[in-house]
Amino acid sequence: MLELRPNCERCDVDLPPSSDNARICSYECTFCAGCVEHHLHNVCPNCGGGFVARPIRPTGSWRPATGLAYDPPSTVRRSLRYTDQEVSAVVELLREIAPEER
């Protein structure tokens, strides 16, 4: 199950479970759509992978043991552990390579 991290790791904007602005990589690194498009150019600065829209977890329990009440989102805020220069370097290296070819 996805962790549903609460914020963009780059700009710290809130990304609640219902947000259609959240993007994740295969390691669940979480960024907002604006950072992914304008700053990261679809390159995860943590792993080099690409991003997809994060699914929205239903608020209701439509099936037993499902929904936000059963599996609440994480409250642990995350931030990049790399400098802007390090992020720029990996983005420039990988941005012209399609995610499936990295």
Return the domain boundaries, the chain: 22-101
Its pTM stands at 0.93
- Residue 80 CB-half CA count within 13 A: 19
Q: Specify the pLDDT at position 75.
A: 97
Residue-wise pLDDT for 26-80, tens only, equals 999 999 999 999 999 999 999 999 999 999 999 999 999 999 999 999 999 999 9
- Per the DSSP assignment, residues forming a β-bridge with 7 are 14
- Per the DSSP assignment, residues forming a β-bridge with 23 are 31, 53
Structure tokens belonging to residue 23: 């993007």
Q: Specify the pLDDT at position 35.
A: 98
Confidence band for 102, pLDDT divided at 50, 70 and 90: very high
Q: Specify the pLDDT at position 90.
A: 98
Please give the backbone phi and psi of residue 14, each rounded to the nearest 5 degrees, phi first: -65, 140
Which residues, 6+ apart, have CB-to-CB distance to 102 below 8 Å? Answer: 48, 49, 50, 94
Q: Specify the pLDDT at position 82.
A: 97
